[in-house]
Amino acid sequence: MTRRSHSTENANTVMRIMATALIAAGFAGPASAHILGGPMGGFGSGFEHPLLGADHFLAMLAVGLWGAQMGGRSVWTLPATFPLIMCIGGVIGMLGNVADSIISGGISLSLIALGAAIASRWKAPEFASLTIIALFALFHGYPHGKMAPNATDPAAYTVGFVVATGMIHILGIGIGFGLGKLYNGLVVRALGGLIVLAGVYYLATGQM
């Protein structure tokens, strides 16, 4: 198979993943706990939100795990891309009005897709991995952006969740490198499988 054929196949794979995420997201229940919210503070509230929300935490952990598993440039390109695009999703959340079911579904599917990539030890081309990361980062950024105006200091709140996101990515990278060679990588792949199960649960129940 030629290099051009490989590129076309990779692009088609990414497009199928994106289409599936967008279509299936519409059938998931709302994640009201993350999209709605009462009065919040500033940096501390933003910082704790990814840490206390299991769906966000697992997705951000998966980004670091997958980057460490693939190695090379992916160790830093994936964790660098996610928070950057998540900020764009946050802006959309501040300005837009996307149905809660689509956002919660996208968050659930991010766990399924990223967990499956880790469980299968998929060495994705850079274009594919970054596109997938960027897509799901939009979903994760949206609820933070929608909640930010409720904060007493929206700017500090935003900085807080970006910093927490980066820390979770680093934790995932550390776990990936620390356990990556254990039992020929089976431990990390098992973690990917657990992340998939969490995503399936959230998708089926709408509980986040």
pTM of the model: 0.78
Measured CA to CA, the distance from residue 85 to residue 93 in angstroms comes to 12
Residue 31: C-alpha distances to residues 18, 83, 206, 208 (Å): 20, 20, 6, 6
Question: Tens place of pLDDT for every residue, the chain, 208 residues?
Answer: 455 554 455 445 444 544 444 444 444 343 433 443 445 667 887 888 788 888 999 999 999 999 999 999 999 999 999 999 999 999 999 887 888 889 999 999 999 999 999 999 999 999 999 999 999 999 999 988 888 877 888 888 888 888 999 999 999 999 999 998 888 889 999 999 999 999 999 999 876 6
What is the reported pLDDT for 69?
96
The position carrying tokens 């986040």 is: 208
What is the reported pLDDT for 21?
45
Sign of the C-alpha dihedral computed for residues 83, 188, 193 and 208 taken in this order: negative
What is the reported pLDDT for 120?
95
- Each residue of 112-127: b (16+ CB within 10 Å) or e? bbbbbbbbeebebeee
